Amino acid sequence: MSNLIYTETHAGEPIDLANARLIPFSKTLHVQIPGLWGGFIWERPASILVMHADGREEIIPIQDITRYIVWGLLGATALVWLFTRNIMRQK
């Protein structure tokens, strides 16, 4: 019961290029519903670690556009619901 909501970061399979190695990372959100079997898992890209042949390492963050769209749609839905609710109360 202590782990109802938690996140994890996972490293993906390394990709070798001519003079670099790329390692993708993702973040996973786990939500478990008490009393029910199962839950909700949302995995999204987080970053890429670039390991250059000369020893330099660089982390490139990934902007998850889908997450912004989902939150925008959720906010727009809430606004439409509030607006509709207000109109229905006035009638």
Q: Judge whether residue 3 has pLDDT over 80.
A: no
The pTM assigned to this predicted structure is: 0.65
Which pLDDT score is estimated for 78?
Answer: 94
Cα Rg, the chain, nearest whole Å? 21
- The span from the CA of 3 to the CA of 20, in Å, is 38
Question: Tell me: the pLDDT tens digits for 43-60?
Answer: 888 999 999 999 999 999
Domain limits, the chain: 5-90
Strand, helix or coil for residue 84: helix
Q: Which position has the token pair 């909501």?
A: 5
Strands (DSSP E) contained in 1-67 are: 5-11, 15-16, 20-32, 39-52, 57-61
Planar angle of CA 24, 28, 34, nearest 5 degrees:
165
